[in-house]
Amino acid sequence: MPLLVLAICNNCIYHTTTYQVRYPQFYRI
């Protein structure tokens, strides 16, 4: 899991799924 995503979302349990769907190219850094 990219550290950038961890920094952006405090509730990663919820947000990781959201970012995977909305920003797949951003999530795959």
pLDDT at 3: 67
Average pLDDT over residues 21-26: 60
- Read off the pLDDT band of 5 (50, 70, 90): low
pLDDT, residue 16, reads 60
d(CA 4, CA 17): 15
Residues 19 and 5 sit within 8 Å (Cβ to Cβ):
yes
User: What are the pLDDT digits (tens) for 11-23?
Assistant: 555 656 665 666 6
pLDDT at 7: 63
What residue type is assigned to position 2 of the chain?
A: P
Give me the pLDDT at residue 22, please. 64
